[in-house]
């Protein structure tokens, strides 16, 4: 139940000769098999935190411990879903989903996973289409499928629905909850949308100016009703912890 332990994590840049802290002394725990949401306004460091977890950037100081990897040897696999779909334009939907497969001996396994997630995500009809022929929501589904076919232990999602319209977004939020309930993977989801955070998260980490300002568990059962008083109470609590400095 160790999950991901983050201790005193710091990331600083030099911007025009001045030191800038994207992350400052962040310590928190992401429980195994949980749906954790990191929420905050733009530039609060939430994406930096996610990219450090995904090994896409070098930390300046601190520690990230990815737990013991359960029964698997050689640590954990981390998959990332980006804000843009980032599909390879030259590969079909099916080929994009199999993208993470690099070795011949994984081929059968990947093929099974691709078939499974094409079905789960409702993409079977589009399996031979190219990304340019897909709508934004479809493309983001494929991107999610690509990461799922990598079969990661931890899925990192960086505002994956940020560029989608309201209706598509709502649908995908429901789908991701269904997937989470069915797959039991650890998900870390970054968003600036407080409603989305409360709709999805079992644990919500509120960030501001490179620091964690609040962590709160959300015990509401899925699927949650955004109009219910409990939902609104959590939402209010998050907002109140962010009220400090309005920009």
The answer to the question of residue 64 lying near other proteins (CB under 8 A) is no
The answer to the question of residue 74 lying near other proteins (CB under 8 A) is no
Residue list 203-242, contact with other proteins (CB under 8 A): none
Tell me how far, at minimum, the Cβ of 234 lies from other proteins, in Å: 31
The answer to the question of residue 76 lying near other proteins (CB under 8 A) is no
Tokens 């076919």 locate to 149
Rule CB under 8 A: choose which of 3, 45, 79, 137 binds other proteins: 79
Q: Edge-to-edge strands of the sheet including 4-15?
A: 18-30, 4-15, 61-65
Tell me how far, at minimum, the Cβ of 97 lies from other proteins, in Å: 12
The piece of 79-87, 161-169, 186-194, 200-208 that touches other proteins (CB under 8 A) is 79-87
The binding track of 116-145 with respect to other proteins, each residue x by CB under 8 A or -, is --------------x-xx------------
Query: Which of 217, 188, 151 lies closest to 64, judged by CA?
Result: 188
The nearer residue to other proteins, 123 or 238, going by C-beta atoms, is: 123
The answer to the question of residue 109 lying near other proteins (CB under 8 A) is no
Binding residues for other proteins, total number by CB under 8 A: 20
Tokens 């989608």 locate to 164
Tell me how far, at minimum, the Cβ of 152 lies from other proteins, in Å: 9
Do 214 and 26 form a contact (C-beta atoms < 8 A)? no
Rule CB under 8 A: choose which of 54, 62, 136, 162 binds other proteins: 54
Rule CB under 8 A: choose which of 5, 25, 32, 84 binds other proteins: 84
- Dist CA 64 CA 4 (whole Å): 7
Q: What does the block give as tokens for 31?
A: 């429980």
- H helix runs in 131-228, sequence order: 136-149, 166-183, 194-200
- For other proteins, the binding residues (CB under 8 A) are 54-56, 78-80, 82, 84, 86, 88-91, 99-100, 102, 130, 132-133, 150
């Amino acid at each position: 139940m160790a999950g991901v332990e983050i201790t005193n994590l710091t990331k600083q840049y030099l911007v025009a000769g001045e030191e800038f802290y994207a992350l400052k002394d962040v310590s928190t725990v992401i429980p195994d098999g949980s749906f954790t949401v990191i929420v905050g306004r733009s530039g609060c460091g939430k994406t930096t935190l996610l990219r450090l977890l995904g090994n896409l950037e070098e930390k300046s100081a601190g520690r990230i411990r990815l737990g013991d990897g359960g029964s698997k040897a050689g640590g954990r696999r981390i998959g990332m879903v980006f804000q843009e779909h980032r599909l390879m334009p030259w590969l079909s939907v099916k080929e994009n989903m199999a993208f993470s497969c690099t070795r011949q001996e994984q081929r059968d396994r990947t093929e099974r996973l691709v078939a499974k997630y094409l079905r789960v995500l409702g993409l079977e009809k589009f399996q031979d289409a190219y990304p340019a022929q897909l709508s934004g929501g479809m493309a983001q589904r494929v991107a999610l499928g690509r990461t799922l076919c990598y079969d990661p232990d931890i899925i990192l999602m960086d505002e994956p629905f940020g560029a989608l319209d309201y209706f598509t977004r709502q649908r995908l939020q429901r789908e991701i909850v269904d997937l989470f309930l069915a797959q039991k993977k650890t998900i870390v989801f970054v968003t600036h949308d407080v409603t989305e955070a409360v709709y999805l998260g079992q644990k919500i980490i509120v960030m501001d100016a490179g620091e964690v300002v609040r962590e709160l568990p959300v015990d509401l059962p899925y699927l949650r009703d955004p109009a219910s008083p409990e939902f609104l109470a959590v939402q209010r609590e998050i907002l109140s912890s962010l009220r400090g400095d309005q920009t």
